[in-house]
Amino acid sequence: MANCLTLKKSNCKNCYKCIRHCPVKAIRFSGNQAHIISNECILCGHCFVVCPQNAKEIVDSTEKVRVLIQSGDPVVVSLAPSFIANYDGVGIEAMRKALKKLGFYDVEETAIGATIVKTEYERMLKEDSRDIIITSCCHSINLLIQKYFPAELQYLADVLSPMQAHCIDIKKRIPNAKTVFIGPCVAKKDEAEYYEGPVDAVLTFEELTNWLKSERIELEKEMDKNPESRARFFPTTGGILKTMTQNVPDYTFLALDGVENCITALKDIESGKIHKCFIEMSACVGSCIGGPVMEKYHRSPVHDYMSIAQYAGTRDFDVAQPEALALKKHFTIIDHKAMQPAEYEISAVLRQMGKFKPSDELNCGSCGYNSCREKAIAIIQGKAEISMCLPFLKDKAESFSDTIVKNTPNGLIVLNENLEVQQINAAARKIMNIRFESDVLGEPVVRILDPAVFMSVKNSGRSVRDQKVYLAEYKKYIEQTVVFDPDSRMLVGIMRDITDEEAERERKTRINQQTVEVADTVVEKQMRIVQEIASLLGETAAETKIALTKLKESIGDE
């Protein structure tokens, strides 16, 4: 399969949006980067459309087409009928004028090939005794069946797509012609490359628009009418059926769009619930006018359908219908399946994800997989990582942070911008004699603490660190640190209870004070004794006084 979708690694932000929207989960994650699994991908383009960082890219074929034009051979465009919805108010003649300025020999509508294909479908219904027929115009649906529903391959119409039928027709009529299909589809690039011959290159509408801009070519708002153009309805849901004669007895004609709906129908066929049915299947919701490269963000289903309906004629294009054999297309099974792991392996991974019993398997889909079990299988197959589980990461982070918060000896209190309590741990509740966390959560902090320091930190943005405070209401001394987190707009207060330390310090101060007082008393008594002795001996007590004073000072310093 052609590698039509690539990834800009620098843009991939590990958001998992692509895997959540991939209908066949053909994306693996490694090193926090998404990688498209080419042999499982059906090229529906959903990942390209939904990627919020434009990390998915469609391989650009503009240079390849430039080379074709420079070769000198006539290069003819097969223009998908959805062009009228993508280029509002621009008819086929205006498109022909603009594209000829780029160097193309001519421009024709793929709807000509659609007429050939729908006529073959009508023949199959009349002449072939088929139970179920699934249209094969959509290459993504063909890949879906080839890869995921091989048993239903027998029901896939073995008919060329309108793109192929038209390009073969062009090459019959114009000697040495090269053909370029232009449309809203990623899968057509793969179809053209895989089935070599009919189509030489494929451009998307986005590539064409960029090319026209680079050459400063403007499309003229010019509409034309052609009553023989009913096949212009092909790019809409039910558009194939709208062009067909549905007069086969006991047959049900049905149109389905969206890969999920088509998968459901294929499962019904697989279970034997459906018979005598002609099913038009389109991978894109709304069919081709809902294609991934309708300028990517050009989603206006009602307006687009009206554009198609107003431009389409009431009769078929006048075409030379080839023999049925010339329109045959061979489809083969494309084996892609990875080895299915054993039950014990799945159970082991589920345990690593924190899923120990069925009730732990939330099947929330945040990882992109439909169930925790599917995710576990993808991990074993190397497609997914355990860290993709949002509840697992949340529980792990909360468990880690809760362990720290619950076991730290410091009191923690978290406030929002309105100074309302958002979180308080057991140590803080003990300091403030708060029995239950629920008693204060959501309440203004002024109920339990002086809010002045919190207001000051919030307004100034400057943290307060190791500030000693006496909480008179609780008869506690604390050292408090208050910080403001500008990202979360939260205030965090950290309180260390130093009441016992303060009590010990005060006790030592009292002891020292008592020692000083005793020393003073001793000094006074000693002075009296010394003076009495000195008066008898006639000596001075100066030296004795100095010594005793120094003793007093040294005790006081302690």
Between 266 and 539, the higher pLDDT residue: 266
Q: Is the pLDDT of residue 519 over 90?
A: no
| Judgement on whether residues 427 and 487 belong to the same structural domain of the protein | yes
Between 509 and 427, the higher pLDDT residue: 427
What tens digit of pLDDT does each residue of 269-287 get? 999 999 999 999 999 999 9
Cβ-based neighbour number of residue 543 at 10 Å: 10
Identify the pLDDT of residue 297: 52
Assign residue 379 the CATH number of its domain.
1.10.15
Q: Is the pLDDT of residue 465 over 80?
A: yes
What is the spatial distance between Cα 258 and Cα 527, in angstroms, rounded to a whole number?
Answer: 109
What tens digit of pLDDT does each residue of 154-185 get? 999 999 999 999 999 999 999 999 999 999 99
Q: Is the pLDDT of residue 122 over 80?
A: yes
Residue 48 covered by a domain: yes
Domain boundary among 59, 74, 93: 59
3-state secondary structure of 174: coil
Q: What is the pTM of this model?
A: 0.72
Q: Is the pLDDT of residue 402 over 80?
A: no
Identify the pLDDT of residue 272: 93
Q: Is the pLDDT of residue 514 over 80?
A: yes
Torsions phi, psi for 222 (to 5 deg): -145, 115
Beta strand 132-134 with 277-282: parallel, antiparallel or unpaired?
parallel
Share of the chain above pLDDT 70, in %: 93
| Judgement on whether residues 147 and 286 belong to the same structural domain of the protein | yes
Task: Work out whether the CA dihedral 38, 40, 44, 50 comes out positive or negative.
Answer: negative
Identify the pLDDT of residue 270: 95
| Judgement on whether residues 169 and 225 belong to the same structural domain of the protein | yes
Residue 333 covered by a domain: no
The tokens for 411 are 């009191």
Residue 503 covered by a domain: no
Residue 258 covered by a domain: yes
Identify the pLDDT of residue 328: 95
| Judgement on whether residues 258 and 115 belong to the same structural domain of the protein | yes
Identify the pLDDT of residue 11: 82
Identify the pLDDT of residue 556: 62
Domain boundary among 285, 306, 327: 327
What is the spatial distance between Cα 293 and Cα 24, in angstroms, rounded to a whole number?
Answer: 20
What is the spatial distance between Cα 341 and Cα 418, in angstroms, rounded to a whole number?
Answer: 53
What tens digit of pLDDT does each residue of 327-363 get? 999 999 998 777 788 989 999 998 888 888 888 888 8
| Judgement on whether residues 226 and 260 belong to the same structural domain of the protein | yes
Q: Is the pLDDT of residue 549 over 80?
A: no
Identify the pLDDT of residue 211: 97
Identify the pLDDT of residue 318: 93
| Judgement on whether residues 98 and 243 belong to the same structural domain of the protein | yes
Identify the pLDDT of residue 468: 92
Q: Is the pLDDT of residue 463 over 90?
A: yes
Region of 103 on the Ramachandran plot (φ > 0 left; ψ -120 to 50 alpha; else beta): left
pLDDT band at 299 (very low <50, low <70, confident <90, very high): low
| Judgement on whether residues 436 and 483 belong to the same structural domain of the protein | yes
Identify the pLDDT of residue 115: 97
Q: Is the pLDDT of residue 543 over 80?
A: no
3-state secondary structure of 325: helix
8 A C-beta contact, residue 278 and residue 123: no
Residue 304 covered by a domain: yes
Between 117 and 488, the higher pLDDT residue: 117
Task: Work out whether the CA dihedral 11, 12, 15, 17 comes out positive or negative.
Answer: positive
Q: Is the pLDDT of residue 26 over 60?
A: yes
Arithmetic mean of pLDDT, 430-448:
92
The tokens for 330 are 């061979």
Identify the pLDDT of residue 432: 93
Arithmetic mean of pLDDT, 378-393:
81
pLDDT band at 400 (very low <50, low <70, confident <90, very high): low
Q: Is the pLDDT of residue 397 over 80?
A: no
Cross-strand partners of 421 = 415
Helix (H) or strand (E) holding 490: strand 490-497
The CA-to-CA distance between both ends of the chain, in Å, stands at: 87
Identify the pLDDT of residue 361: 83
What tens digit of pLDDT does each residue of 233-268 get? 999 999 999 999 988 888 999 999 999 999 999 999
Which domain covers residue 460, as residue numbers? 408-497
- Dump the DSSP string for 396-410: HHHHHHHHHHHH-SS
Residue 332 covered by a domain: no
| Judgement on whether residues 488 and 518 belong to the same structural domain of the protein | no
| Judgement on whether residues 38 and 71 belong to the same structural domain of the protein | no
Q: Could you give the residue ranges of the DSSP H alpha helices within 77-204?
A: 83-86, 92-101, 111-127, 139-148, 162-173, 187-194
Domain boundary among 348, 381, 407: 407
What tens digit of pLDDT does each residue of 12-25 get? 877 888 998 999 99
| Judgement on whether residues 280 and 367 belong to the same structural domain of the protein | no
pLDDT band at 419 (very low <50, low <70, confident <90, very high): very high
The tokens for 192 are 């053209």
Assign residue 23 the CATH number of its domain.
3.30.70.20
| Judgement on whether residues 393 and 416 belong to the same structural domain of the protein | no
Identify the pLDDT of residue 331: 96
Arithmetic mean of pLDDT, 207-224:
94
| Judgement on whether residues 157 and 47 belong to the same structural domain of the protein | no
Structural domains of the chain, count: 5
What is the spatial distance between Cα 470 and Cα 499, in angstroms, rounded to a whole number?
Answer: 9
Between 300 and 556, the higher pLDDT residue: 300
What is the spatial distance between Cα 274 and Cα 132, in angstroms, rounded to a whole number?
Answer: 8
Per-residue DSSP letter, 142 = H
Scored b (16 or more CB within 10 A) or e, 36-68 reads bbeebbbbbbbbbbebeeebbebeebbeebeeb
Q: What angle do CA 489, 491, 494 make, to 5 degrees?
A: 155
What tens digit of pLDDT does each residue of 129-149 get? 899 999 999 999 999 999 999
Whole-number average pLDDT of the chain: 89
